Each structure stands twice: as structure tokens, then as C-alpha cells.
């Protein structure tokens, strides 16, 4: 049990108006539940909420989500043929139904009309927890990126998963039989799988009918997945590689240089376990031999994209690459200590040789990573953003750190009181759900610790005598005042039920609703909503 | 289904009418999985004539505040696919060492997997994917090489997930994939501490 100090309220602070110098609640006011606003309903948001309720059982948690539907990338990123991964969303249902938890879907946080500004939620909470993920993708910044036929993997993934933002993407998969995927992370492999998987397999998943229709007309039967570094540096994970190697009637073409030249560690058993298993899998190749395959895929390494090329300046015709080589001899990195070797090999850098090469293709996917951006209004509440790293600066535990707005005033670095972050916006856009879970737990634990230890949190003039925040009751008024049609958990369940019903008619788990207006129509009837 | 709704209704009722109750009496939600689902189902079907909504809620989630060090715990009798009580003479012992180095020993039956056992006994093991070998949050480290060798070889799928686990060792396994049987009586497994994102390697510059 935590030891509680006697309630004490600083009268001076309490009597300051909203524009007065920043005031902070302290341990003195802790004999009451903490009120936390979580922004984003992906795994980071939900696992933090789950953990917070475990550590501080009387916590009051409100979750704000841009879309009417929850789960972030579990719904809109994870591939339809990974139902086991999507299952992790089910674990979150208990959190959502907890009596101290409110879900406010269709409430984008920001300053645009129709959004809820940060300044209008901050006063009602002790802490804000940013878990809004990464909603952009990195660009390559090379010539021709805007040509027809060059697609962002994020857009394509969003499109096949039914993300409203990309409902109208309408990718043209009929231009040629070869597609190039630039980047070798799991997103790149997801895209490859969706392009090459047998349709009868995909029909059983929750892939949208719209996407199935487009894929059924696809002419793509050869996908080249090309990366800047080598086979042991590429960010893919072995599970995703194996899925492609074992895919029915899909053949794998090894890279033209041959594996020995790329791996350069002999015998392979000197590699740390994780990399040895990847090397073995790659060298074994596909279960379907190339001569029996209907479709094929290939991995290409040590090639940095240099330009998207077109003879008519309109339609992509080829992708130009610049040859790379390892910065240092690979075998020098093997010390015999597995963790050191793993880090050394994974971190091996490359440099350009100047040689150029070309791959002809009418379709190319840019898949070099997602990117977080600052929320509008961060400046208003003293939250910084590290543009270079694409994260909210934090102390790795999840406390937001500002170089100039520390608790002791201007020009001191330190924790911005009451501000926390978790998930991709904290760590950068890498890592599977398990690492997001670890990370969310770390943040929740630190919030609980700070709360129990009397660290400064957000403070506001409208708290009642014991400092209790207005929380949900107050924010609900703000939402209504702005005419935002928020979606409760109960309402999401109605949308969910409707999607399942539509899915059942087609013999699959769900048929996702692809437009926000249609989601809201399930709740309000058609014609009554004015969204999108 | 009806029973799940009933829970939801109770939870809601609880939240609106007991805001002023002492905090310590509320119970946080548990990550939902097959097991807690079934357990809840069981509780629902038990007679509960005298329970108030609050105690009812408490009983729908696993016990809390269990003593830190337990040397001997028998798991309660359960039915269908859930933890089964061991048959007399077929009791198997399994010990979990948590990250505070506390030992927890349980008497279990053949056929139970380590994730289910840990969760039924409220140990900190998440099992985010519900035991379908798709998340690695149930990573355990088998203490003795000998015991590790007695286990069935991990499948490719399990090894693939283990390769992503933080703090992988030579004797790492996924708890949801290790099923108790006679040969494993007395097995001791460690729960790795959750410090993944504090590792320098995670912050190694990515080029
Ligand atoms: C294509 C793809 C496939 C993946 N496949 C797998 C896989 O198979 N297995 C696996 O383990 N992991 C997978 N991952 C990784 C996994 O999805 C991430 O680890 C995890 O989703 C990150 O969680 P998060 O909560 O930080 O972000 P997100 O899941 O992105 O959640 C952020 C949420 O915040 C909301 N939001 C954004 N801006 C605002 C705003 N202004 N106001 C309110 N809400 C806002 C978003 O709508 C979203 O719901 C995949 C990722 C991608 C991109
Ligand atoms: S519970 Fe997910 S892998 Fe074991």
C-alpha cells in the first residue's frame, strides 16, 4: 500500500487564474484518483491503460482516438493474414469495459475545426499520455517519387486494411508483371505477401472485398524486395521471411551475387543464433521450387534507390539503384560473444561504390519506415518534438523531457510535469506489438511511481478542494460544445457487430467499413451526419 | 454471450454507483485470454445469491494480493480445457522464479502449459496473443540444461518468435508452448525482467 501524506492544498496556487505562471499539483493532493488522458488507441495506449489500472486501481482513464474505431495499427497495419497477431486486440476488451475507462472515438486531437485542442483537455487531467503512433511515412527524397506507379507502402497497407484515409487510393496493379518494393522491413514483406498470396487464402481473412477485387485483377507475378544493406542487416524478422518462403506456388530467387558474397561469415555457425537462423532460412530458399512456381519473389541487397525513371515523365518504367559495399570486413565483427556479434553485425554500415544498376518495373512501393509528427498545439502545452528522430523527446522511461522547459522554469532541462509518451511516438516506428507492450508498461509504471512519490503533475485552477480534476465530465462538455460527434465504446461495439454481420454474409470474420461517414451512419442512420 | 454482456452491465453499473468507494476495493482488468474467459464463465455459473455487484466484479477477475512467496499451491479444480486438477499420483511440480527472484511452486496436471499455469496463479506473464505463438510475451528461461533437453524441440514458429524475445538465452522457451508432462516434473523456469527498452542495443543508431 502506498503511504499517503495528509492533504494539503497551497492556497496561493489555487487562487491563480489560468494565465498565471504554471502551477503544479504535488503529493499533497494525492488522496484522490489520478486522471489520465491517453491520446491514441493503438497497443501503446491500451497496454498503458491496462497497466495503469493494475498499478493504480482507482485511476480514471480517458482515451481519445482520431477514428471512430479503436486499435490503431492492429486494425490498420497488421496484415489480414496475421489473425493471431490481431487477436492481441481481444486482450484489450477488458480494459475498455472497465468502469474507470472512457473511450472517445472520432475525436482527433489538434487545432483544426472538428478537432479537440490539447489546451482544452490539459486542464482536466493530471497527466497526458501521448500514444498516437506514427501517421506519416518516410520519403526517399530522390527524383521521380511522384511518378504514377510509385506508391507509399503505408498508403497501400492502409488501403488493403480499409483505412478511411486511403479508401480512394485505387492502386493500379495491371501495368506490368514486376513490382519493386524498396525497403526490407516487415511492412515491405507484408506488401509482398499481399501482392503474391493465393487469393483463395486471402478471401478467408478480413481483407476488404474492395481490395480482393483489385488484387484479383492484378498482373503482378514477380516482386523484387530491395534494400540498402545486406541480408543480416535488413530489418525483416524471420517469421515474415518464413511465411513467404512457405507460401503456396511462390518461388524464391536468390540474390544475383550469391549468399556467400553477401553473408561473408564462414562457417555460418559462427553467427549469433538469430542471424544464423535467418541465414539458414534464406539459403534453403522456397518450399516451392522455381520451376514449379506460378509467381516469384527475390531479395536484392546492397542497392540504394537513386531515382524513379520514366521516359514520358508520367508513368514509372524503371528504378535506378546505386551499388553499396560494407564499410568494414564482416568477419572482423565476429568476437564469439553472441550479443556483441549480434549488435555488430546488425549495425554494419555500407557506403556507395558509385556503380549504378536498373530494375524495370511499372510499380514500386516505398517502404522505408513510418514517421511520427508533432501534434498540433504541442507548443501551447510545452511539449517539444524531436523532428530529426521523429519522436517526443523522453527519458526512455516515458517522461517527456524538454531542454528548456523543465520544472524549475525557463532554461532548465527536465521532465515536463504531467506529460508522458509510449509506443511508436516514444521509441520511433520500429518494433512488434510485444515491444510496444513492454514499452507501454514501462511508461505506465513510471506514471504510477511518479504519482505515488509526489512528483509534480499537471495542475489547473478548476480542481475542487482536494485538487480532483474535471476529467471526463468536463471534457465531454468541451466535445459537445465543439459539435464533435464522439463515438463511445458501446457504439464501437455496434460498428463492430455490423462489420461482423457483413463478414458473415461473405463467409469471413468481418467486412470492414471503409468510410467514416458509413461508420457513423451505422450509429445515426444515413443522412444525419456531415462527416467526410 | 449473454454472460459476457452481463459482466459488462455489471461493470458499468459499478462505475456509476461506487465512485466514492475506497480505491483498494476495485480490481483492475486482466488481459483477456481464453483462460480468464473460461474462468469468468465458471464464476458466472456459480450460485451467487448474496453477492453485491462489487464482490461480484472482484470474483470475475483472478485473485489479487496473493502472498509473494508461496512454496506450495494447489490449483483449484476447473473444467473444460482449463487447468485441470492433477490425478492422485500424477502431480507435477513447476517452479517460477519471478524477477524479484521469488520462487513460486505449483502442483499441476499433465497437459497444462506454462502460460496458463502462470496466469491462473497471477504471476506476471502477459500472453498478449492468447497463447498462439505470435507475440513472445510469454518468454521463460529454463533453469537447467538437462530439463531443457527433456522438452520437445521448439517448432520453427516458436524459435522464430523467440528470436525476437528480449534477453534470449540458450534455454529460452515460450511459456505457451511448453506443456507439462511426467518428464518435466520439478522444472524451474525464470521470468525475464521487462527491461527491453532500457537496453542500449535498442538505441543503437540505425543507418
Ligand atoms: C504495416 C504494419 C504491419 C505490422 N504488423 C505487425 C505484426 O504482424 N506483428 C506485430 O507484432 N506488430 C506488427 N506491427 C507493429 C505494430 O503495429 C506496432 O508495434 C504498434 O501498433 C505500435 O503501437 P502504437 O500504439 O504506438 O501506435 P498505433 O498502433 O499507430 O496507434 C496510434 C493510434 O493513435 C491514433 N491517433 C493518431 N493521431 C491522433 C490524434 N491527433 N488524435 C487522436 N488519435 C490519434 C491513431 O488513429 C491510432 O489509432 C506492424 C506495423 C505496421 C505498420
Ligand atoms: S502468448 Fe504469445 S507467444 Fe506465447
Instruction: Provide the pLDDT confidence category of residue B83 given band limits of 50, 70 and 90.
Output: confident
pLDDT of amino acid A72: 96
Q: Which three cell numbers stand for residue A40?
A: 491514441
Q: Is the pLDDT of residue A428 over 60?
A: yes
Note whether A190 and A146 are within 8 A (CB).
no
Judged by average pLDDT, the poorest of A448-462, A496-510, B96-110 is A448-462
Q: Do B30 and A94 touch (CB under 8 A)?
A: yes
Mean pLDDT of B114-133: 89
Query: What pTM did the predictor assign?
Result: 0.83
Ligand 2: which of B128, B159, B189, B191 to mutate, judged by most atoms within 8 Å of the beta carbon? B128
Mean pLDDT of B62-76: 35
pLDDT of amino acid A432: 86
Instruction: Express as a percent the part of chain A with pLDDT over 90.
Output: 82
Mean pLDDT of B110-119: 94
Asked if A391 is an interface residue toward chain B (Cβ–Cβ < 8 A), one would say no
Q: Do A435 and B135 touch (CB under 8 A)?
A: no
Asked if A57 is an interface residue toward chain B (Cβ–Cβ < 8 A), one would say yes
Q: Which residue has the cell 498462439?
A: B132
Q: Is the pLDDT of residue A7 over 70?
A: no
Exposed (0-12), middle (13-18) or buried (19+): which is A530, by Cβ within 10 Å? exposed
Nearest ligand to the C-alpha atom of residue A70: 1
The predicted-structure confidence for A168-203, as pLDDT tens digits, reads as follows 999 999 999 999 999 999 999 999 999 999 999 999
pLDDT of amino acid B136: 87
CB-CB neighbors (< 8 A) of B37 in chain A: none
Q: How far is CA A236 from the centre of its chain?
A: 16
Q: Do B23 and A58 touch (CB under 8 A)?
A: yes
Judged by average pLDDT, the poorest of A122-136, A250-264, B155-169 is B155-169
CB-CB neighbors (< 8 A) of B27 in chain A: 57
Instruction: Provide the pLDDT confidence category of residue B51 given band limits of 50, 70 and 90.
Output: very low
Q: Do B23 and A433 touch (CB under 8 A)?
A: no
C-alpha distance from A518 to closest chain B C-alpha (Å): 26
**Long-range own/partner contacts, residues A76-80 (CB < 8 A, 24 or more apart):** A76/A157, A76/A158, A76/A161, A76/A162, A76/A163, A77/A157, A77/A161, A77/A187, A78/A161, A78/A433, A79/A157, A79/A161, A79/A190, A79/A193, A79/A194, A80/A160, A80/A161, A80/A194, A80/A202, A80/A205, A80/A206, A80/A207
**Binding residue positions of A for FAD:** 44, 65, 73, 109, 424, 431-433
CB-CB neighbors (< 8 A) of A60 in chain B: none
* Ligand 2 in reach of B174 Cβ (< 6 A): yes
Q: Is the pLDDT of residue B199 over 50?
A: no
pLDDT of amino acid A405: 65
Mean pLDDT of B51-68: 30
pLDDT of amino acid A291: 95
d(C-alpha A380, C-alpha B56), whole Å = 45
Select the CATH number that applies to the domain covering A12-135+372-484 from these four: 3.40.50.920, 3.40.50.720, 4.10.780.10, 3.40.190.10: 3.40.50.720
d(C-alpha A322, C-alpha A306), whole Å = 6
pLDDT of amino acid A296: 98
d(C-alpha B111, C-alpha A77), whole Å = 35
pLDDT of amino acid A406: 60
Residue that wins the pLDDT comparison between A5 and B93: B93
- Rounded to the nearest integer, the mean pLDDT of chain A is 90
Distance from Cα A93 to the centre of ligand 1, integer Å? 17
pLDDT of amino acid A466: 59
pLDDT of amino acid B192: 86
Asked if CATH classification 3.50.50.60 holds for the domain at A137-370, the reply, yes or no, is: yes
Q: Is the dihedral of CA A310, A311, A315, A316 positive or negative?
A: negative
d(C-alpha A329, C-alpha A232), whole Å = 14
The fold of B92-197 is Ubiquitin-like (UB roll) (3.10.20)
The predicted-structure confidence for A88-120, as pLDDT tens digits, reads as follows 777 788 899 999 999 999 999 999 999 999 999
- B-proximal residues of A, 435-464, CB under 8 Å: 435, 437-439, 441-442
ipTM for the whole complex: 0.81
Alpha-helix runs per DSSP H in chain B: 2-17, 34-45, 53-60, 114-120, 145-150, 156-162
Nearest ligand to the C-alpha atom of residue B136: 2
Judged by average pLDDT, the poorest of A69-73, A139-143, A157-161, B161-165 is B161-165
Upper half-sphere CA count for residue A160 (Cβ side, 13 Å): 28
Instruction: Provide the pLDDT confidence category of residue B33 given band limits of 50, 70 and 90.
Output: very low
pLDDT of amino acid A89: 74
- B-proximal residues of A, 75-104, CB under 8 Å: 82, 84-85, 87-88, 90-95, 97-100
Instruction: Provide the pLDDT confidence category of residue A527 given band limits of 50, 70 and 90.
Output: low
Q: Is the pLDDT of residue A525 over 90?
A: no
Residue that wins the pLDDT comparison between A349 and B52: A349
For chain B, the structural domain boundaries read 92-197
pLDDT of amino acid B45: 32
pLDDT of amino acid A460: 58
Q: Which atom of ligand 1 is closest in space to residue A71's alpha carbon?
A: 49
Task: Considering chain A, tell me which residue range(s) the CATH 3.50.50.60 domain(s) occupy.
Answer: 137-370
Note whether B70 and B93 are within 8 A (CB).
no
Instruction: Return the bridge partners of A323, or none.
Output: A303
Q: Is the pLDDT of residue B71 over 70?
A: no
Task: Considering chain A, tell me which residue range(s) the CATH 3.40.50.720 domain(s) occupy.
Answer: 12-135+372-484
Amino acid at each position: 500500500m502506498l503511504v499517503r501524506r495528509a492533504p494539503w492544498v497551497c492556497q496561493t496556487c489555487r487562487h491563480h487564474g489560468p494565465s498565471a505562471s504554471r502551477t503544479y499539483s504535488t503529493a499533497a493532493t494525492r488522496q484522490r484518483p489520478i486522471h489520465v488522458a491517453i491520446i491514441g488507441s493503438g497497443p501503446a495506449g491500451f497496454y498503458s491503460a491496462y497497466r495503469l489500472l493494475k498499478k493504480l486501481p482507482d485511476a480514471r482513464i480517458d482515451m481519445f482516438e482520431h477514428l471512430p474505431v479503436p486499435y490503431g495499427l492492429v486494425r490498420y497495419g497488421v496484415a489480414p493474414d496475421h489473425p493471431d497477431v490481431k487477436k492481441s486486440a481481444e486482450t484489450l476488451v477488458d480494459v475498455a469495459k472497465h468502469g474507470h475507462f472512457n473511450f472517445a472515438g472520432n475525436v482527433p486531437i489538434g487545432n483544426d475545426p472538428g478537432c479537440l485542442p490539447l489546451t482544452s483537455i490539459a486542464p482536466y487531467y493530471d497527466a497526458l499520455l501521448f500514444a498516437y503512433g506514427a501517421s506519416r511515412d518516410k520519403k526517399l527524397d530522390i527524383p521521380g517519387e511522384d511518378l504514377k506507379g510509385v506508391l507509399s507502402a503505408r498508403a497501400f497497407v492502409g488501403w488493403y486494411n480499409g483505412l478511411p484515409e486511403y479508401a480512394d487510393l485505387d492502386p493500379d496493379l495491371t501495368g506490368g508483371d514486376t513490382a519493386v518494393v524498396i525497403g526490407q522491413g516487415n511492412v515491405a514483406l507484408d506488401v509482398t505477401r499481399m501482392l503474391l498470396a493465393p487469393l483463395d487464402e486471402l478471401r478467408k481473412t478480413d481483407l476488404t472485398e474492395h481490395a480482393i477485387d483489385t488484387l484479383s485483377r492484378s498482373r503482378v507475378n514477380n516482386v523484387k524486395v530491395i534494400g540498402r544493406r545486406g541480408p543480416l542487416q535488413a530489418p525483416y524478422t524471420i517469421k515474415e521471411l518464413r511465411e513467404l518462403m512457405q507460401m503456396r506456388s511462390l518461388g524464391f530467387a536468390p540474390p544475383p551475387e550469391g549468399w556467400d558474397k553477401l553473408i561473408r561469415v564462414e562457417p555460418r555457425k559462427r553467427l549469433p543464433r538469430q542471424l544464423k537462423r535467418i541465414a539458414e532460412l534464406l539459403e534453403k530458399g522456397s518450399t516451392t521450387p522455381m520451376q514449379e512456381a506460378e509467381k516469384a519473389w527475390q531479395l536484392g541487397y546492397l542497392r540504394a534507390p537513386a531515382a524513379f525513371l520514366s521516359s514520358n515523365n508520367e508513368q514509372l518504367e524503371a528504378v535506378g539503384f546505386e551499388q553499396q559495399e560494407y564499410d568494414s570486413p564482416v568477419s572482423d565483427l565476429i568476437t564469439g560473444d553472441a550479443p556483441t556479434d549480434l549488435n555488430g553485425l546488425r549495425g554494419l554500415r555500407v557506403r556507395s561504390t558509385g556503380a549504378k544498376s536498373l530494375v524495370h518495373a511499372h510499380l514500386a512501393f516505398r517502404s522505408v519506415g513510418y514517421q511520427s509528427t508533432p501534434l498540433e498545439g504541442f507548443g501551447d502545452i510545452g511539449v517539444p518534438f524531436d523532428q530529426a528522430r521523429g519522436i517526443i523527446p523522453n527519458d526512455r522511461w516515458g517522461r517527456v523531457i524538454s531542454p528548456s522547459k523543465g520544472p524549475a522554469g525557463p532554461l532548465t532541462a527536465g521532465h515536463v510535469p504531467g506529460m508522458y509518451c509510449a509506443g511508436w511516438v516514444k521509441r520511433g516506428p520500429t518494433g512488434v506489438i510485444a515491444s510496444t507492450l513492454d514499452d507501454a508498461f514501462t511508461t505506465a509504471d513510471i506514471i504510477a511511481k511518479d504519482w505515488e512519490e509526489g512528483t509534480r503533475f499537471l495542475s489547473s485552477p478548476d480542481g475542487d478542494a482536494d485538487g480532483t480534476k474535471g476529467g471526463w465530465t468536463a471534457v465531454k462538455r468541451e466535445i459537445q460544445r465543439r459539435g464533435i460527434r464522439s463515438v463511445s465504446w458501446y457504439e464501437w461495439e455496434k460498428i463492430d457487430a455490423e462489420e461482423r454481420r457483413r463478414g458473415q454474409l461473405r463467409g469471413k470474420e468481418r467486412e470492414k467499413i471503409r468510410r467514416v461517414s458509413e461508420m457513423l451512419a451505422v450509429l445515426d442512420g444515413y443522412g444525419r451526419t456531415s462527416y467526410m | 454471450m449473454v454472460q459476457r454482456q452481463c459482466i459488462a452491465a455489471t461493470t458499468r453499473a459499478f462505475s456509476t454507483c461506487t465512485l466514492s468507494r475506497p480505491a483498494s476495493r476495485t480490481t483492475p482488468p486482466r488481459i483477456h485470454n481464453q483462460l480468464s474467459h473460461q474462468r469468468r464463465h465458471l464464476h458466472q455459473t456459480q450460485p451467487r445469491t448474496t453477492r453485491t455487484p462489487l464482490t461480484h466484479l472482484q470474483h470475475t477477475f483472478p485473485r489479487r494480493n496473493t502472498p509473494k512467496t508461496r512454496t506450495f499451491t494447489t490449483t483449484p479444480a476447473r473444467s473444460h480445457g482449463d487447468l485441470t486438477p492433477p490425478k492422485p499420483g500424477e502431480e507435477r511440480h513447476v517452479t517460477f522464479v519471478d524477477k524479484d527472484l521469488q520462487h513460486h511452486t505449483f502442483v499441476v496436471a499433465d497437459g497444462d502449459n506454462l502460460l496458463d499455469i502462470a496466469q491462473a496463479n497471477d504471476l506476471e506473464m502477459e500472453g498478449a496473443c492468447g497463447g498462439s505463438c505470435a507475440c513472445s510475451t510469454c518468454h521463460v528461461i529454463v533453469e537447467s540444461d538437462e530439463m531443457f533437453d527433456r522438452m520437445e524441440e521448439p517448432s520453427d514458429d516458436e524459435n522464430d518468435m523467440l528470436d525476437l524475445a528480449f534477453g534470449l538465452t540458450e534455454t529460452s522457451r515460450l511459456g505457451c508452448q511448453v506443456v507439462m508432462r511426467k518428464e518435466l516434473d520439478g522444472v524451474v523456469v525464470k521470468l525475464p525482467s521487462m527491461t527491453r527498452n532500457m537496453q542500449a542495443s535498442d538505441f543503437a543508431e540505425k543507418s
